[in-house]
Amino acid sequence: MASAAGLLVLAIMFGGGAATPEVSSNSTLFLRVQAPFPEVETHSLLAPLAEAPATLRTVVAVIDRARRDERIRGMVVMPNTAGALWAQVQEVHDAMVAFRASGKSLVVHMEYGGAADYFLASAAERVLLMPAGTLDVSGIASYELFLRGAFDKLGIYPDLLHMGEFKSASNTFTERGFTPAHREMTQSLNRDAYDQLVSAIAAGRNKSVEEVRRLLDAGPFLPEEAKAAGLVDDLAYDDQIDDASPVQGTRRLDGIDYTRGFVAGLGSGPRIALLYAVGTIASGRSSFNGPGGEVLGSDTFVEWIRKVRADSSIRAIVIRIDSPGGSAIASEVIWRELMLARQVKPIIVSMGDVAASGGYYMAVPASAIVAQPGTITGSIGVVTGKYVLQGALDKLGVGADSVSDGRFAEIYSPFRRFSPAELAKVEAQMKVTYDLFVSRVAEGRRSSPEKIDAMARGRVWTGKQAHELGLVDELGGLDRAIALAKEHAELDVDKPVTLVIYPQKRSLFETLANPFGVGLGASLGLMTRGPEARIVDAVAERLRLFRQGETLALMPNLFYAPGR
């Protein structure tokens, strides 16, 4: 009997997926859009035996392919965006708007309609809701956890410091609720996201902003209520879509079949490197299945930058950032390498859901920064400190003692708080790191440190707000960043390019050597990325990141609830 491992090897060597079907000249594409999407393609030993989740880049490229495919007359999108943040949803929405603008029919069918689902639906000419479903659109809320009370009960003292009154990454552990600055920032972010939702609904449903606000105040809606309010056009089950939409009489083409075998970015044109900067920034190697989720290792990323910088066939570099930051030292290492690379070829940054703190640090060498209106960015500030465990040890009856030589040898002792002299040392170090961060931003944005400091101080902004402040150059998605890369490289913007993507696919040997590495970890992470799981994961991640003496450029914990 063949072993399971043997079957997996055979599956990898010989495939087993169905061939791409023939596309009728009178087809309607039925595309399931399940967000959040992975930014980086997953690779695992199990990939041949199961459909890997489509990346955001693939979904957007498939919609664009269908727009240009003369055989496809229309498209039905079936969204499921529970747990998604705004930037990815907006990128798909932009692709759907372009599809509809081409003159083809676009319908959205929802079994359940959360705010992010309905944001996508606003791009369609016709919106359908399942008769037993719910249009759960009533606004946007943001949630944060504060663990100080639990730490007090455990006897743990979070001796953490931050530079910038809005820098609230440590507030998770030091506070019991919002500080005034923290609340002001969170209210601003939530309001801007809410306004973006209202504007999209108003434009898509041909209603005034005031009318949409009144409707949202009346939500959530039962199916008949949603139809009566003009938020959906009809109620229909999946098998009734043909009768309730403009795509009657066409052949149904399943999105999985249309996507199978499709690789975004392949071509015979000039080469542009696309580097994915995904995860928490740390020194060392990258990982996509670590304890705190994806990790962007500075060693790995520097290797990529050096390879594409030295490759004369690569005309420009696009960096796709989806990172909340992390180590200030690792961010500086990446910044330096990008500064060297930009002397050789243009660099364009595309921001995903989050490009904040260290994620923004590494963006500033770019010739241009592109973000979605709902991107979370900024957070120019730093945090550091330690956790004092003596109280917890006392509760357990555990003794602790130490010996040391040197005045500040025990500055990061876990058994006592900082002394006044030690505190002065730590604050001085933080000030130097913060000033360096501000100066890097000022240089990259062609501004002064004073002007950058006025909008920095650890404050987080939406992409729309950052654009108004000059921290971002343009609003748009990855395709816009690639178009800018063509312009800066003096390439024909109307002709395709070949994308050289990092991280590159793993070889068969690498997959067999680590069968349950990147791919399985990333896939399991995606399965648990609901709002509640994201909170737990983020807290665990921050606990892991606070290492002795390290200053962090890390964004605060912020959890929108735009979806289910």
| pLDDT score for 13 | 37
- Could you read off the pLDDT of 287-329 as tens digits, one per residue? 876 555 788 999 999 999 999 999 999 999 999 999 999 999 9
Name the superfamily (CATH) of residues 26-138+219-259. 2-enoyl-CoA Hydratase; Chain A, domain 1 (3.90.226.10)
Domain boundaries, the chain: 26-138+219-259, 271-382+422-541
- Greater confidence (232 vs 25) lies with 232
Q: What are the distances in angstroms from CA 315 to CA 272, 274, 367, 495?
A: 6, 11, 14, 14
Distance CA 475, CA 506 (A): 33
In sign, the C-alpha dihedral spanning 84, 89, 91, 95 is positive
- Residue 547 banded pLDDT, cuts 50, 70, 90: low
Q: What angle do CA 70, 74, 75 make, to 5 degrees?
A: 120
Let me know if the fold of 26-138+219-259 is the same as that of 271-382+422-541: yes
pLDDT recorded at residue 408? 93
Helix (H) or strand (E) holding 183: helix 180-205
Averaged pLDDT, 30-50? 73
The pLDDT of residue 83 is 85
Q: Write down the pTM of the prediction.
A: 0.88
Between residues 187 and 266, the one the model is more confident about:
187
CA dist., res. 196 & res. 215, Å (int) = 15
Q: Cα–Cα distance between 372 and 194 in angstroms, integer?
A: 15
pLDDT of 71 strictly over 70: yes
SS3 category, 342 = coil
Residue 225 pLDDT more than 90? yes
pLDDT at 560: 46
Q: Which two tokens stand for residue 514?
A: 């680590």
Is residue 84 over pLDDT 60?
A: yes
For 17-21, 92-96, 222-226, 280-284, which range has the lowest pLDDT when averaged over its residues?
Answer: 17-21
Give pLDDT, residue 263.
72
* 220, pLDDT greater than 60: yes
**End-to-end Cα separation, the chain, in angstroms:** 46
Structure-block tokens of residue 536? 């737990």
Residue 301 has a pLDDT of 97
- Exposure string of 246-256, with b = 16+ CB inside 10 Å and e = fewer, is bbeebeebebe
* Cα distance between residue 288 and residue 272, in whole Å: 24
Residue 376: enclosing H or E segment and its boundaries?
strand 376-378
pLDDT digits (tens, 9 = 90+) for 427-461: 999 999 999 999 999 999 999 999 999 999 999 99
Class of domain 271-382+422-541: alpha beta
Q: Counting every residue, how long is the chain?
A: 564
Phi-psi region of 380 (alpha: psi -120 to 50; beta: other; left: phi over 0): beta
8 A C-beta contact, residue 279 and residue 323? yes
